[in-house]
Amino acid sequence: MCMDETANNGAQNFFLKRFNVVATSDGGRFSQQMVDNLTGLVVGAPYLACAILGCWLTAPLNSLVGRRGTIFISCAIAAIASIWEGVANSWVNLFIARFALGLGIGSKSTTVPVYAAECAPAPIRGALVMMWQMWTAFGIMLGNIMGVAFLNLGHDLNWRFMLGSTVVLPLIVCCQVYLCPESPRWLIKKNRIPKAFEAFRRIRPSEIQAARDLYYCYVNVEIERKVSHGRNMVWELVTVNRNRRAAWASWIVMFGQQGSP
């Protein structure tokens, strides 16, 4: 996602002219206001998709196919959308491609930190979860590099390669994610206890530690089931004061982050 952000910064200087999204005074068919609106719509399409659909698909996907499955599917969607961006033939087509990109990004962005937290041992859990931010910055750097690397390609290729280059990282994740064990917590929630123990054995130094963490996780899951039985969590997000205030705070922070210059 972050690589796409910065790669798009360079690409939009070219694809807007290629699709004749320029103001009337510059030979285009739109007013300056319309050009600004269309530019914002195309550039912000992934975020729009994340907010409307992508993030809301996270829970159903995780429940259905697990953490690894969700990451694989979302990265596959992102990879296909990246190629789609590179071959787009109109601003409408490019908008649809970038909207599809956001469908993959939403679920992946919320699942990866959860997956890391559920698999990592306590002493390094915080560090591994926060590495998400480090790799976010790394993606921003790669996007800028791609913008410079393909800047001087002619024949309508520069912006296509800038946007299409974002296919590489999702493909790498798709190839590697099933080399990792599934989340033991997810396996326990699906009553696949032997599989959960095998997963813990792969990510813990000894069988004793694996058995210990399996027991702790199993007890936590059972307590969670009893507490949540018969409750509507979505409704409680609105009706419970503490939940409602936390949701409002999160929405305000994210709106301010994306809306500020």
Closest by CA to 8, choosing from 44, 35, 32, is 44
> Which residues 6+ apart lie within 8 Å of 105 measured at CB?
1, 46, 49, 50, 54, 74, 78
Which tens digit of pLDDT belongs to each residue from 156-206?
A: 888 899 998 888 888 999 999 999 999 999 999 999 999 999 999 999 989
Mean pLDDT comparison of 12-16, 28-32, 77-81, highest-scoring range: 77-81
Supply the DSSP string of 199-211, one letter for each residue.
Answer: HHHHHSSSHHHHH
Q: How far apart are CA 238 and CA 181, in angstroms?
A: 36
Residue 111's SS3 state is helix
Q: Which residue has the tokens 């989340």?
A: 183
Each domain of the chain, given as residue ranges in start order, spans: 2-180, 185-253
Measured CA distances, 145 to 9, 82, 163, 225 (Å): 11, 17, 12, 47
Confidence of residue 9 (pLDDT cuts 50, 70, 90): confident
Look up residue 41 and give its two tokens: 């719509």
Look up residue 229 and give its two tokens: 């039985």
Q: At what angle do helices 91-119 and 122-149 cross, to 10 degrees?
A: 160
pLDDT(261) > 60:
no
Q: What letter does residue 157 receive in the DSSP assignment?
A: T
Q: What is the mean pLDDT of residues 74-78?
A: 91
pLDDT of residue 238: 81
Contact between residue 28 and residue 35 where contact means Cβ atoms under 8 Å apart: yes
Q: What letter does residue 19 receive in the DSSP assignment?
A: T
- Please, what is the average pLDDT of the chain? 86
CATH of domain 2-180: 1.20.1250.20
pLDDT of residue 43: 86
Confidence of residue 231 (pLDDT cuts 50, 70, 90): confident
Q: What is the mean pLDDT of residues 145-165?
A: 86
pTM assigned to the model: 0.85
